[in-house]
Structure formats: structure tokens, C-alpha cells
Structure 1
Amino acid sequence: MKKLHRRLRQLTVKQLELPKDVIFDLPRITMIASYQMYIENHRGVVQFTDQYLHLRLSKGELKIYGNQLVIRAILPEDVFVEGLIRSIEYID
């Protein structure tokens, strides 16, 4: 049943030409240089310091390492982070 549901979603995406992140609730990450990052479809903050941010995503987890990290805005599904972003790790 799960495979059928996934297949129907894939066909919907293909036929309607919709972005996959909309249909499959996938994370979308937008980064401006190494100073700002906007993450959509997060499922909560696991851990946060001024050098580390760990987010739970709809599919996997995201770890952000940097300096002077600040969460500028946090909404139920979106996070806006500023600071000097040094590296990003996505865990599926």
C-alpha cells in the first residue's frame, strides 16, 4: 500500500509539473553566501548553540556548524539562521 501511495504521488508530480518538495514534504534549503540560511519543512530544533544547529527534518536531519549563529526567525515549519556558516551536514 505504501508503494502505491508513493507511486501515485510521483505520477501527480509528473503530470501536474509540481515541485517535489511540495508533494513529498521535502526540506528546502536556501543559502545566501555563508551568512544566511533559510530552511523550510523542519520538524524541530534538536540542539542549538552559537556554533551549532541541529534540526530534525521531514526526511532526515540537518547539522549546521559555524560561528556566531543566531536564529532570526523560527516558525512551525521554517527557520531563518544568520552567522558565519562553516559547514552543513545532511543525514538521511
Structure 2
Amino acid sequence: MGFTVNQTLKRKLAHTLDLPSAVLLDQATICLSGDGEAKITNHKGLVQYTSACIKARSLQGMIEVIGDELEIASFSSSEMKIVGRIRQVMLK
């Protein structure tokens, strides 16, 4: 017999343990450093990659980074670092 932990319980557990809820809920996290760097964790794969637009899947929807001279500086199965002139970040 399987046991499924619901989202509410995960949120309460994260709060009790003083952890970011994104850790237990597998939510994407986007961290911007000025307009030159974005770090996306818990992405679910790259969808589009051009120097003007980078799109990645997440459980919450599509993450879209718009800008100029965009590059993926590092990439792993769960994290990517985007550099360039970032003009807009959207979750669709």
C-alpha cells in the first residue's frame, strides 16, 4: 500500500523544518543577479535556446527569459545559469 504526501503537508513540513518550500515541492526557483545573470533551479528541461530567448519547463509552467546576447553558462539536469543582458523573465 503506497503513501502519498499531499502539498499541504509538504508546506507544513517545510515551514516546521525552516526549509524553502521549493525544496520539498519541487518548485522552480529563479534567482536574478542584476540584469546580467539568472540561475534557475528545479527546471524540467530546455525547450528553446537562442541569444534572445531561453525557455525551460517547470512544474509551474514555462519559464521564459528574454534578453540580448543570452548564453547558458552552466547546465545540469536540475539547474542552469543564464548570462547576458536580461530584460524580462516570465512564467507562463
Q: TM-score, normalised by structure 1?
A: 0.88
Higher strand share: 1
Superposed CA RMSD:
1.7
Identity of aligned residues (%): 24
SS of the residue 1:42 aligns to: coil
Unpaired runs of at least 5, structure 1: none
Alignment of 1:22-37 (within 5 A): 22-37=23-38
Higher helix share: 1
- How far apart are 1:14 and its partner, in Å? 2.7
Unpaired runs of at least 5, structure 2: none
Is the contact between residue 15 and residue 21 of structure 2 (CA under 8 Å) also seen in structure 1?
no
Number of residue-to-residue matches in the alignment? 90
- How far apart are 1:65 and its partner, in Å? 0.6
Please identify runs of 4+ aligned residues in structure 1 that moved more than 4 A: none
Could you give the per-residue CA deviations for residues 28-63 of structure 1, whole angstroms, max 9, x where no partner exists? 111111001110000011111000001101221111
Q: TM-score, normalised by structure 2?
A: 0.88
